[in-house]
Amino acid sequence: IIVIALVIIFFAGYVILAPIIYGVFRPKTILESRSLVIFGYFKRQFKRGLTTQEFLCNITPTEKEKQAMMIVFMQTFFATYTAHILCETYIPNLSYNIDFIRVMFQQAITDTTTLGIGAGLTQFIIDTGDVWLKIILTITTFVFLISYLSDTTVFKNKIKSVDTTPLGVLSCICCYYPVTILTYIFIKVTDQTLMPVNNQTLLFVLNLIVILANIGSLIAILRLGTKAGNLTNRGIVTKFPYNIIRHPDYSMQILYIITTTIPLMLMSNFGIVEKVMMLITTFAWIYIYFLRAITEERHLMQDPEYQQYVEKVKYRFIPKLF
């Protein structure tokens, strides 16, 4: 409700103030704004006296118009998504998650004194693995929200261009709600979240890999900062970890997928058909992230700065290998 109220207030203020500012001051930024570009496109559609050929040519947006419409769509879609999930899921549970980590840490200290450091640390990682992921997702979602709401040179986040290709857009939004409703129909995922591993040492290792993979993803996103938004070129980042591989975030996401699904496939009591489908699903999700990397690079390669970056950092996902 709070998010909806803020959005309504923002757009109501925009609708009231924008025409006044435009009419009185005629600022250059507004004259070149994406809103006017989009308005010009729709205004052109009502032009009378066009032949069929002229109408067909007229209905095709120019590159500038495509860029403007895609940026507005992207900011609306992703900003709404990140604001919603932050306000509805992550922020209300943040204090509980932090308190849970604190209580489990105190318990781990007690276990360490009685059972040893290895046993205490093992139990702490097993007990808190899911909670660490929620805290990390809270931070990354907040970074993405700031990115979508700060398209300005003040934050060194001015959008240079956006990917308008259908494959680039589809491979990106299929990972986000509500599009994931359709994605999960075609790429079914299990609703079992706990890894069916009885060996405590192995379970500790798997949970640790999952936590480290998500921390790696967090580091990559924090390094991008306000440039972290999807589908856009907001400037090239070349510092760690982007000086090692070109897609560290996607590499960590793929590692997370493998670590959480392969043990479930091998050690669960699912039938052979379910396990084969799970294997197909795993490869499908890996391929989606591969497509995201490929389409992003196809778009970014239009930037000479990124071309130089590719020459220096030759590997996409795995250093010295791929």
**Cα–Cα distance for residue pair 56/251, rounded to 1 Å:** 43
CA distances from 159 to 76, 113, 124, 226 (A): 15, 54, 43, 10
Copy the structure tokens of residue 298: 């196809």
pLDDT of residue 194: 54
CA distance 312 to 138: 33
Contact between 204 and 259 (Cβ < 8 Å): no
**Region of residue 320 (phi > 0: left; psi between -120 and 50: alpha; otherwise: beta):** left
What residues have CB less than 8 Å from 266, skipping those under 6 apart?
Answer: 275
Tell me the torsion sign for CA atoms 175, 181, 183, 187: positive
Does residue 183 have a pLDDT over 80?
Answer: yes
Residue pair 229/144 in contact (Cβ under 8 Å)? The answer is: yes
pLDDT given at position 241: 95
Query: Under 8 Å CB-to-CB from 67, ≥6 apart: which residues?
Result: 34, 161, 162, 164
Confidence of residue 3 (pLDDT cuts 50, 70, 90): low
CA angle at 279 for the pair 278 and 282, rounded to the nearest 5° = 85
Average pLDDT over residues 99-128: 90
Which has more confidence, 280 or 29?
Answer: 280
Model confidence over 197-209: pLDDT tens digits?
677 788 888 889 9
186: its two tokens:
């075609």
The closest alpha carbon to 44, from 32, 31, 25, 57, belongs to 57
Tokens 């990972």 correspond to 175
- Enter the pTM of the model: 0.85
Buried b / exposed e along 167-180 (16+ C-beta atoms within 10 A): ebbebbbbeeeeee
Annotate 263-278 with DSSP letters as a single string.
Answer: HHHHHS---HHHHHHH
Residue 23, pLDDT > 90, answer no
Single-letter residue type at 295: T
- What are 114-148's pLDDT values in tens digits? 888 888 898 899 899 899 999 999 999 999 998 98
Query: Residue 184: pLDDT band by 50, 70, 90 thresholds?
Result: confident
> Which of these, 131, 127, 132, lies nearest to 106 by C-alpha position?
127
Residue 226 one-letter amino acid: T
